[in-house]
Amino acid sequence: MSVAYTPLEMGLAIASVALATFVTRSTLLVVGERLRFAPRVEAALRYAPVCALAALVVPEILFRQDALVLGLDNPRLPAAIAASLFLLWKRSIVGCIAVGMSVYALWRYFVIGA
Amino acid sequence: MRDIAPAMPGAVAWGVVTGVAMVKFGLAVSAALGLSLTAYAGSAQLAVLPLLKDVTPVWIIAATAIVTNLRFVIYSAALRGWFLDYSRWRRLWLGYLSGDFVVVAFTNRVATEGAFLHRDAYYFGMALTNWVLWHVASIIGIVGAAYIPTHWGLEFAGILALLALVVPLCRERPALAGALAAALVAVLAHDWPLRLGMLAGVIVGITVAMWLDARKRSRGEIARVAQ
C-alpha cells in the first residue's frame, strides 16, 4: 500500500467509531423523554446492521486483492460455508470461529498446499 | 453476574479475536488499544478494520460504525422507559456500557418482574462485568497477536466473528432478503471507488428489508380485519 493514514487521520477515525458508540447507545436514553418510532423507521433501524455486516463480510470472503475468487483456490469460501452451517445447527460464536478456522487451515494445507 | 454467565465464553472469544484481528489487519498496537478502549463495540470495531486497511476516507469509516451500531438505538428506546427516573448523567453511562447480551438479560428480567428495585445497579453490574471481560480479552488478543505468525491468517477469525453475528440475525425473512441483496450489490459494485459499493449494498439491502417488512405487516393487518 502506497498511502497510509497520518496520525491525525487515524485519531479521527478512532474517535469517530467511539462517538458512534456513544451516540447510538445513549442519545435516546438522555434526551427525548417521550418519543415513539414510526414502524417504517423502526424497521430501517432494525435491518440496517444486518445489511451493513452482510455487505461487508461477503466481499471480504469472496475477493482477494480486488479479484473475485469463487473456485477451490479460495479457502475462505468453504470455511465460511462450514461456519454458517455450524451456526444454523448450534448458535455458538466460539464454535463458529473454531469450525471456520479449522476448515480454513485444513483447506489451505491439503487442497492448496500452501 | 449469573444472568450473563452463559454469554461469557462468547464474549471472551469475541474480544480475543477482535484484539488479534485488529493487529493482524495492520493496526499499530497503540491504535488497536485506543480503538478498543474507546469504542467498546465489537462489531463496529471489526467492521472498520478492512476499511482502515484500505485507507478509506474517515467519513465512510464513521458511517459504517454508525450503521453497524444502529441496533443500539432500538435497544436504548426499549430500555428508556425503565430508566427515566434516574439522572441523565447516569443514563448516559448506562447507554455507553450497554451490549447485546446485557440488554437481552435485562429485558428478560423486567419482563417477568417489572420495575424491580435497584435495577440500575443490576444493569450496571452486568454491564461492568461484560465491559471488564471484553477489555481484558481484547488486550490479551492485541498483545498476544505479536506472537502469532501472520501466515496463519488469523484476521479471517475476525470475519468469522462477524459472520457469527450475521447468520442468527437472518432468521427473519426480511432480514435474510435484505442481507442477500446487500451482499449481492456489494459484490457487483466492489470496484467502485471509496467503498461506495458497500454503501450502495447497505442502502439496497435496507430498502428490500423494509419493503418486505411493510408487506408482512399489512398482511398481518388484513388477517386481523378478516377475523
Interface list for B 126-185 with A (CB within 8 A) = 152-154, 156-157, 159-170, 174-175, 178-183, 185
Looking at the complex, does the CB of residue B44 fall below 8 Å from at least one CB of chain A? Answer: yes
For residue range A77-92, list pLDDT tens digits in order.
999 999 999 999 987 8
With contacts defined as CB-CB under 8 Å, which chain A residues touch B48? 13, 17
Closest C-alpha among A37, A45, A84, A92 to residue B178: A45
The fraction of chain B above a pLDDT of 90, given in percent, is 14
In sequence order, what are the beta bridge partners of A68?
A: A63
User: What pLDDT shows up at residue B198?
Assistant: 86
Average pLDDT for B187-194: 86
Pick the more confident residue, B50 or A35: B50
pTM value? Answer: 0.79
Q: Do A3 and B182 touch (CB under 8 A)?
A: no
User: What pLDDT shows up at residue A83?
Assistant: 96
With contacts defined as CB-CB under 8 Å, which chain B residues touch A33? 84
Please tell me which residue of chain A has the smallest CA distance to B45.
A17
- CA–CA min distance A111, chain B (Å): 16
The C-alpha atoms of residue B181 and residue B187 are separated, in whole angstroms, by 10
With contacts defined as CB-CB under 8 Å, which chain B residues touch A106? none
The C-alpha atoms of residue A93 and residue B165 are separated, in whole angstroms, by 8
Structure-block grid coordinates of residue A19: 462517538
DSSP-based three-state secondary structure for A64: strand
CB-CB: which of B70, B214, B217 is closest to A48?
B70
Mean pLDDT of chain B: 82
For residue B211, the one-letter residue type is W
Average pLDDT for B108-121: 77
Q: Do A97 and B79 touch (CB under 8 A)?
A: no
Closest C-alpha among A20, A19, A56 to residue B69: A20
CB-CB: which of B52, B77, B178 is closest to A37?
B77
Average pLDDT for B163-180: 89
Looking at the complex, does the CB of residue A112 fall below 8 Å from at least one CB of chain B? Answer: no
CB-CB: which of B9, B55, B197 is closest to A5?
B55
Intra-chain end-to-end CA distance of chain A, in Å: 24
Radius of gyration from C-alpha coordinates of chain A: 20
The C-alpha atoms of residue B7 and residue B37 are separated, in whole angstroms, by 21
ipTM of this predicted complex? 0.85
Interface test with A, best of B43, B206, B211 (most A CBs within 10 A): B206
- Is the CA virtual torsion B175, B180, B184, B187 positive or negative? positive
In sequence order, what are the beta bridge partners of A64?
A: A67
The fraction of chain A above a pLDDT of 90, given in percent, is 30
Radius of gyration from C-alpha coordinates of chain B: 20
- CA–CA min distance A72, chain B (Å): 17
- CB–CB of B156/A61 below 8 Å? no
In sequence order, what are the beta bridge partners of A67?
A: A64
With contacts defined as CB-CB under 8 Å, which chain B residues touch A26? 76, 91-92, 94-96
Looking at the complex, does the CB of residue A67 fall below 8 Å from at least one CB of chain B? Answer: no
Contacts of B100 (CB under 8 A, 6+ apart): B71
pLDDT at A37 over 80: no
The C-alpha atoms of residue B186 and residue B168 are separated, in whole angstroms, by 20
Pick the more confident residue, B217 or A58: A58
Among the ranges given (A5-14, B30-39, B105-114, B191-200), the one the predictor scored with the smallest mean pLDDT: B105-114
Q: Do B167 and A87 touch (CB under 8 A)?
A: yes
pLDDT at A1 over 50: no
The C-alpha atoms of residue B10 and residue B14 are separated, in whole angstroms, by 6
Chain CA centroid to CA A68, Å = 18
DSSP-based three-state secondary structure for A63: strand
